[in-house]
Amino acid sequence: MPVQTKKHWQQRLHDVVYESNTIAGKAFDITLLLLIFTSILVVMLDSVEAWHSRYGYIFNILEWVFTFLFTIEYILRLICIKKPWRYVTSFLGMVDLIAIIPSYLSVFFAGANSLLVFRSLRLLRVFRIFKLTNFISEMQFLGAAIRASLKKISIFMSIVLMLVVILGSVMYLVEGRQHGFTSIPESIYWAIVTITTVGYGDISPATPLGKLVASLIMLMGYGIIAVPTGIVTNEMVNAVRNKKLHTETCPVCGRESHDADAKYCKYCGAKL
Amino acid sequence: MPVQTKKHWQQRLHDVVYESNTIAGKAFDITLLLLIFTSILVVMLDSVEAWHSRYGYIFNILEWVFTFLFTIEYILRLICIKKPWRYVTSFLGMVDLIAIIPSYLSVFFAGANSLLVFRSLRLLRVFRIFKLTNFISEMQFLGAAIRASLKKISIFMSIVLMLVVILGSVMYLVEGRQHGFTSIPESIYWAIVTITTVGYGDISPATPLGKLVASLIMLMGYGIIAVPTGIVTNEMVNAVRNKKLHTETCPVCGRESHDADAKYCKYCGAKL
Amino acid sequence: MPVQTKKHWQQRLHDVVYESNTIAGKAFDITLLLLIFTSILVVMLDSVEAWHSRYGYIFNILEWVFTFLFTIEYILRLICIKKPWRYVTSFLGMVDLIAIIPSYLSVFFAGANSLLVFRSLRLLRVFRIFKLTNFISEMQFLGAAIRASLKKISIFMSIVLMLVVILGSVMYLVEGRQHGFTSIPESIYWAIVTITTVGYGDISPATPLGKLVASLIMLMGYGIIAVPTGIVTNEMVNAVRNKKLHTETCPVCGRESHDADAKYCKYCGAKL
Amino acid sequence: MPVQTKKHWQQRLHDVVYESNTIAGKAFDITLLLLIFTSILVVMLDSVEAWHSRYGYIFNILEWVFTFLFTIEYILRLICIKKPWRYVTSFLGMVDLIAIIPSYLSVFFAGANSLLVFRSLRLLRVFRIFKLTNFISEMQFLGAAIRASLKKISIFMSIVLMLVVILGSVMYLVEGRQHGFTSIPESIYWAIVTITTVGYGDISPATPLGKLVASLIMLMGYGIIAVPTGIVTNEMVNAVRNKKLHTETCPVCGRESHDADAKYCKYCGAKL
């Protein structure tokens, strides 16, 4: 019956587009990855004056070819699943959309093409393709550690922001306009460049007092950089320790997170 | 009776100004936060030549409006508490004062206005407003770790200072005046820029020997930067570990190292 | 019988060339090390214009002398072992080959000489010569920790790469050609320079918006640099912890986590 | 009897010069510290052209005054102890000598004066003066951690050195003389500037290929910087953990380093 067949081709398509355990599926994924790589490369080369002037025309054609193919892929992804909307609203779904929109936008707005580099986000699929399950577990570990330290980091960052605002304005007072510290926002930019130890040198203190203050800021930044590192490291160490703790659950109260050397449930005292 | 009523309006005012669990209180806090943000923004924009020349007049008026409002707020905070002096001497209290003084100073001293950016310190109130209690606990954790490592860091810093004084003067001898190392303080500034890996490049060694010494300093700084990070991380790891260990011993088997949430001894199952 | 004698001189040669517990062996190794050092020094000095113009001829002769000696050494290493192929395919074996090939290449290709600096890899032999066994154990510790964190680091790096591609192209859109961001690859290069906190300053944002984005990137890089450090530190801490825990359980009370040097159970005092 | 009295004034002198628990001793130490500070300040100011031309004469006189006083102090330190030689050969003893020699050298060699900044080393005495015993314990902790990680760090550094030699020469081949990479040593200097994330920008890649290689080096350095930090942090964490282990010694075999939860000696099985 049609319905049956319909489901059938949809299911088959799904296996090809979403899964990669069939030959067709693997082929599809690898082709897709190569397409993504080349499309990004094309965008980059096209941005180089010398290449653009010579091969701009070809790049433009290629661009539309890629867009066309990605559009088809996007449609395929939509039609072969039960809940298309869930895919559209998913992270990878939005990435896929962002990968094709710019080309169409470029018809109306010049330069929108450059947004195409956001396609590099699609490379995230690489983690799926080669079935790097353990890699994914590593990612989860990193993700967990970063998520756990996000609060602390955000506090740290907000404090750093206040610091650079104050330090920047101090330098604005000390150095003044004639030495490149043309305004407070400019000075704040300098303070960020300095405290993050980037140090472009496009703006640098000229007066003795300015250099003294700058030195203090640098030494401060030297100590401050220890904080985010400490936070993340600490969370990772804990993540590992806690992972150790996720041993068996209590047979009575069914609660988890007993130490490795625990003989009795620490919540209800039942024998483990 | 008057006293009663007096206490009454004072109490009500207190709830609005200091607390944020009433609608009025929340409204007050959010308005305050917005005022702080805008006032800082105004100061910044006013420092930009282009904006100052065009809207300097308006900025000036706004400045006085903000100062007026903050002054009222300050007075309100004073009159609605039992011990005003405790507020004045508190950190937030001094910050609030620093936020209004510059404007009045600017009447006598030109440029004092720039000090207004210290208002950014007032943003610390943001942590109170949104009742980010757990954020505050995180802050305490960070604070504790930093306080614990302060001694070690200060030793480290004093050693670094000696180091840069010596290294700076060595470079002054090696490179000499003609290559930008015009004086020992200047060379010390360079040494700090180098050892903190900021590296502006406003001063950089020119002679082969100078570059050799500079390379050694850089590699030294490369290793040295590990120390503050190590200190802070270590303190954080300990903070977590100790938080875990600060629990009573088992009354039966007398063994320690039970988790904070343990109700029963994990070794013998006895009630803690 | 010849075979016996043959084996004999081969064995003796092996002791000199590969071992360093005999006087001859030690002498050989130290001479070799000195040769390596001088050969590298010669290549470096030869690259300095001033020195090349003056002593280029002598350097060239020395170069061939070193190549000749290293070639002999290579042949000796081949003939005095049972399985020469294993040596050729070993890391040190390839390094030794790389150390002599460039000179011969330079006969056909000019400038190939510069490849001679790869001889510095031979310095790895230093670890063998002075019988720094404990140093080697330290190396193994480091190696283990790095190997263990390699997966996480590679994930981290691939994410950083995506980030710089996106951020770079954003800056290309924001700043544009006239401010040094001449192309997307160029902007990506800038993004890497910025996020790694190197900050040459050969390219730096000029527009206010550009500086704002740059500031965000710097602060991002400030937080991001914590991740690899966290990963490596974490692995090292675990390496130490695991090294401690990899010990048998007590035969009597069956409890674990005895130190590596424990002879008796620390809980019940039973012999392990 | 003379000997008695002699010993007497010597003992008293010793208390003043070496100890700081008497009023005289404290006064001596503080005066000394102030002298050191001022002498360093004078050397620094004297190196500034503007100050030298104006007050050079006074600075010179002051210099000789300080030298005279420090010489007297040095002699006092020698005569009031039993084993003067031990003091001379001690670290602080050599520092004290280094602090006075340059002035006398400057009579024969111009510029030797600049060496006077090595007096800053004398500031190490500050740790003694204020009886910062706990500070000293902190120093010992830091010292222990650094000493413990010295081996690993030195291996790491030697590997980094090989790396920069190789990378530097690669860049020399890629960029060539016309882009500032005038020689291999110069390129190695650049590689160090880059891998340590200092990034002066006095030399920076100009060719696309050069920028690609440079990017790889930066990302490498980004990962590499994690290693020393990891090493030091790890050692500190262990130092703390081990410090915990230094609990009571075994009553039978008298050996230490039992775990906190150990009930029996892990070496001889005796009850603790």
For residue range A196-226, list pLDDT tens digits in order. Answer: 988 898 888 989 899 999 999 999 888 788 8
Q: Which of D136, D161, D193 lies at the terminal end of a domain, its last residue? A: D136
Q: List CB contacts (< 8 A) between D208 and chain C.
A: 185
- Give the structural domain span for C8: 2-136
Put simply, the answer to whether D201 touches A200 (Cβ < 8 Å) is yes
- The residue in chain A having the minimum alpha-carbon distance to the alpha carbon of residue C254 is A261
Please give the Cα distance from A230 to A140 (Å, whole number).
20
Does position C126 have pLDDT exceeding 70, yes or no?
no
What is the model's pLDDT at position C1?
A: 42
Q: Which of D107, D136, D165 lies at the terminal end of a domain, its last residue? A: D136
Q: Let me know if residue A97 belongs to a domain.
A: yes
What is the model's pLDDT at position B233?
A: 86
Classified as helix, coil or strand, D246 is strand
Chains touching B by CB (3 or more pairs below 8 Å)? A, C, D
What is the model's pLDDT at position B270?
A: 67
Put simply, the answer to whether D200 touches A201 (Cβ < 8 Å) is yes
Q: List CB contacts (< 8 A) between C190 and chain A.
A: none
Put simply, the answer to whether C44 touches D183 (Cβ < 8 Å) is yes
Does position C168 have pLDDT exceeding 50, yes or no?
yes
* Helices C133-175 and A23-47: angle between axes, nearest 10 degrees: 60
Q: Residue D28's domain is classified under what CATH number?
A: 1.20.120.350
Identify residue A269 by its one-letter amino acid code: G
Chains touching D by CB (3 or more pairs below 8 Å)? A, B, C
* pLDDT digits 0-9 by tens, B185-236: 999 999 999 999 888 988 889 998 999 999 999 998 887 888 888 888 888 8
Q: List CB contacts (< 8 A) between A121 and chain C.
A: 162, 166
What is the model's pLDDT at position A266?
A: 61
Question: Most D CBs within 10 Å: which of C48, C63, C163, C193, as the mutation test of the D interface?
Answer: C193
Put simply, the answer to whether B200 touches C201 (Cβ < 8 Å) is yes
Partner residue opposite B184 with nearest CB, options D44, D126, D199: D44
Partner residue opposite D162 with nearest CB, options C115, C123, C153: C123
| Ranges A249-253, C69-73, C213-217, D222-226: which has the least confidence | A249-253
- Based on the fold, state whether residues C115 and C188 are members of the same structural domain: no
Count interface pairs C-D at CB distance under 8 A: 173
Mean pLDDT over all residues of chain A?
79
Question: Most D CBs within 10 Å: which of A45, A233, A238, as the mutation test of the D interface?
Answer: A233
Q: Let me know if residue B26 belongs to a domain.
A: yes
Please give the Cα distance from A164 to B100 (Å, whole number).
20
Closest approach of C163 to chain A, Cα-based (Å) = 9
More confident residue, A195 or D159: A195
Put simply, the answer to whether A268 touches B268 (Cβ < 8 Å) is no
Q: Let me know if residue C258 belongs to a domain.
A: no
Put simply, the answer to whether B201 touches A201 (Cβ < 8 Å) is yes
Q: Residue D241's domain is classified under what CATH number?
A: 1.10.287.70
- Based on the fold, state whether residues D130 and D24 are members of the same structural domain: yes
- Based on the fold, state whether residues A145 and A130 are members of the same structural domain: no
Chains touching C by CB (3 or more pairs below 8 Å)? A, B, D
Chains touching A by CB (3 or more pairs below 8 Å)? B, C, D
- Based on the fold, state whether residues C36 and C54 are members of the same structural domain: yes
Put simply, the answer to whether C47 touches D183 (Cβ < 8 Å) is yes
Partner residue opposite B255 with nearest CB, options D124, D232, D261: D261
Q: Let me know if residue B19 belongs to a domain.
A: yes
Q: List CB contacts (< 8 A) between D223 and chain A.
A: none
- The residue in chain A having the minimum alpha-carbon distance to the alpha carbon of residue B196 is A222
| Token reading at A80 | 């072969």
Q: Let me know if residue C39 belongs to a domain.
A: yes
Helix H or strand E encompassing C226 = helix C226-245
* pLDDT digits 0-9 by tens, A103-130: 888 888 776 666 777 777 777 666 655 4
Report, as ranges of residue numbers, the positions in chain D whose pLDDT lies below 70: 1-7, 111-114, 124, 126-136, 241-272
Put simply, the answer to whether B219 touches D196 (Cβ < 8 Å) is yes
Closest approach of D77 to chain B, Cα-based (Å) = 24
What is the model's pLDDT at position D140?
A: 73
What is the model's pLDDT at position C268?
A: 67
- Based on the fold, state whether residues A215 and A154 are members of the same structural domain: yes
* pLDDT digits 0-9 by tens, B81-134: 888 888 888 888 888 888 888 888 888 877 666 677 777 777 767 665 544 445
Put simply, the answer to whether B230 touches D232 (Cβ < 8 Å) is yes
- Based on the fold, state whether residues B108 and B38 are members of the same structural domain: yes
Q: Let me know if residue B30 belongs to a domain.
A: yes
Q: Which of B167, D225, D44, A200 is nearest to C214 (CA)?
A: A200
What is the model's pLDDT at position D2?
A: 46
- The residue in chain B having the minimum alpha-carbon distance to the alpha carbon of residue C194 is B198
- Based on the fold, state whether residues B213 and B130 are members of the same structural domain: no
Put simply, the answer to whether D117 touches B166 (Cβ < 8 Å) is yes
Number of domains in chain A: 2
Closest approach of B93 to chain A, Cα-based (Å) = 17
Please give the Cα distance from A190 to A194 (Å, whole number).
6
- Based on the fold, state whether residues C82 and C149 are members of the same structural domain: no
Put simply, the answer to whether C264 touches D261 (Cβ < 8 Å) is no
- The residue in chain B having the minimum alpha-carbon distance to the alpha carbon of residue C226 is B229
- The residue in chain D having the minimum alpha-carbon distance to the alpha carbon of residue C236 is D234
What is the model's pLDDT at position A119?
A: 74
| Ranges B139-148, C15-24, C188-197, D2-11: which has the least confidence | D2-11
- Based on the fold, state whether residues B78 and B152 are members of the same structural domain: no
Partner residue opposite A165 with nearest CB, options B120, B141, B186: B120
- Based on the fold, state whether residues C24 and C109 are members of the same structural domain: yes
Three-class SS of chain B = CHHHHHHHHHHHHHHHHCCCCCHHHHHHHHHHHHHHHHHHHHHHHHHCHHHHHHHHHHHHHHHHHHHHHHHHHHHHHHHCCCCHHHHHHCHHHHHHHHCCHHHHHHHHCCCHHHHHHHHHHHHHHHHHHCCCHHHHHHHHHHHHHHHHHHHHHHHHHHHHHHHHHHHHHHHHHHHCHHHCCCCHHHHHHHHHHHHCCCCCCCCCCCCHHHHHHHHHHHHHHHHHCHHHHHHHHHHHHHHHHHHHHCCCCCCCCCCCCCCCCCCECCCCCCEC
Q: List CB contacts (< 8 A) between B229 and chain C.
A: 229
Average pLDDT of the segment spanning B45-67: 89
* pLDDT digits 0-9 by tens, D101-115: 888 888 887 766 667
Partner residue opposite A219 with nearest CB, options B48, B196, B261: B196
Q: What global pTM score does this model have? A: 0.83
What is the model's pLDDT at position A242?
A: 64
Q: Please count the CA atoms within 13 angstroms of the CA of D89 that sit on its side-chain side.
A: 4
Put simply, the answer to whether B201 touches C200 (Cβ < 8 Å) is yes
Q: Let me know if residue D12 belongs to a domain.
A: yes
- Based on the fold, state whether residues A230 and A151 are members of the same structural domain: yes
Q: Which residues of B fall below an 8 Å CB-CB distance to C?
A: 197-201, 229, 233
What is the model's pLDDT at position A223?
A: 79
Report the range out of B113-117, C6-10, C215-219 with the highest average pLDDT. Answer: C215-219
Q: Please count the CA atoms within 13 angstroms of the CA of A126 that sit on its side-chain side.
A: 17
Put simply, the answer to whether C183 touches A47 (Cβ < 8 Å) is yes
- Based on the fold, state whether residues C128 and C148 are members of the same structural domain: no
What is the model's pLDDT at position A58?
A: 92
Put simply, the answer to whether C201 touches B197 (Cβ < 8 Å) is no
What is the model's pLDDT at position D264?
A: 66
Q: Let me know if residue D75 belongs to a domain.
A: yes
Q: Which of D136, D164, D199 lies at the terminal end of a domain, its last residue? A: D136
Q: List CB contacts (< 8 A) between C208 and chain A.
A: 185
